Amino acid sequence: MVNGSLTLSVIEHDANLLRQSCLNHLQMSILSIQSFVSYGRVGNRAASFALERLGHEVWPINTVTFSNHPAFGSHKGGIHHPDDIRDIVSELEARGALERCRAVISGYLGDPKTGEALLEVVDKVRRANPEALFILDPVMGEKDGGAYVPEALQEFYKDQAAARADVLMPNAWELSYLTGEEFDDVDAAANAAKKLLELGPSAVVVSGIRHDDEVSVLLVAGDQAFQATTPYVDVKSHGAGDLFAAMFLGNYLNRGDARWAVARAMSATYGILRRTKESEADSLAIVPGQREIISPTERVAALPLWATP
């Protein structure tokens, strides 16, 4: 399902698309509320760079500042107070900036009180610009390690935040938590994701669905489901979910096509993961592999999984 061919016309199209994006969104920005690390590429260190390479102005607000991802074995730093987020957004509001906010994307929050501040920010942005999108990555845990945030924050995502999102972007483990369902295949995962649409989101994008030597992403919207698949790359991939979510948003804003955005983001993520493995880097090789963001070497299709008449 990966097409390795790349023609000159596709490269030219990518360059034209990026230039047009810069022109179209010169006055519009994305508010990115996520974690920050000094060493590595997770949270805003992954998302902001990718969104900027796709032609978007980004206003990053950090929920935590760590030396590095905790998976390295040790880390220093801490969680920011929710009022810090409120205060920063209030200053943006004072400058009339929120009217130019096209989307809010959130990642790791670290504390349920930060979640409350996040929803206040979303409300404030929507009052300034009713067309602004809210992209929610409910960062809670993963299949191999289980939950890594407090139970109260998990409940916040399930009971409050999921219903407020325009696009909900859980990984496979998070999908299972949000729905209370276990699933063994892609079809079952898609059916579980469809139930989340009843909460309010217009679309659910599920990442990290492993099957054999491949990994898939699902897009479920309305009565349709699409699947994008690549070979699984066995490499330390902390931040890959943050990167993928940002590239989905950036590509969606550039073209307005969620199916295309999923395929494009999956293609770019696969390319950067391969670059990371080849370089034996201990963090995502986003800077060396940045061309993948705007012109992926390998092209992935988001193929129809099912459609309900």
Domains located in the chain, CATH noted: 2-307 (3.40.1190.20)
Cβ count near 4 (within 10 Å):
7
Does position 48 have pLDDT exceeding 80, yes or no? yes
Mean pLDDT, rounded, of the chain:
90
> What is the per-residue pLDDT across 50-86, written as a single tens digit (0 to 9) for each?
999 999 999 999 999 999 988 888 899 999 999 999 9
**pLDDT above 90 as % of the chain:** 81
Q: How far is CA 106 from CA 24, 134, 205, 233, in A?
A: 23, 8, 14, 25
- C-beta pairs of 61-64 under 8 Å, 24+ apart in sequence: 61/31, 61/32, 61/33, 61/34, 61/85, 61/88, 61/89, 62/34, 62/35, 62/36, 63/33, 63/34, 63/35, 63/36, 63/107, 63/108, 63/109, 63/110, 63/111, 63/114, 64/35, 64/36, 64/108, 64/110
Which residues make beta-bridge pairs with 290?
none
Binning pLDDT at 50, 70 and 90, where does residue 15 land?
very low
CA distance 112 to 287: 32
Q: What span, in angstroms and rounded, lies between the C-alpha atoms of 117 and 127?
A: 15
Residues with Cβ within 8 Å of 145's Cβ and at least 6 positions away in sequence, in order, are none
Which DSSP string do the residues of 288-304 spell out, in sequence order? TTTHHHHS-SSEE-EEE
pTM here? 0.89
pLDDT tens track for 227-284: 999 999 999 888 999 999 999 999 999 999 999 999 999 999 999 999 999 999 999 9
CB 191 within 8 A of CB 185: no
Mean pLDDT of 121-143: 95
Predicted confidence at residue 11, as pLDDT, reads 36
The residues that bridge with 225 in the sheet, in sequence order, are: 220, 306
Predicted local confidence at residue 187, as pLDDT: 92
User: Any idea what DSSP says for residue 268?
Assistant: H
Residue 219 DSSP class: E
Q: Give yes or no for residue 17 having a pLDDT over 80.
A: no
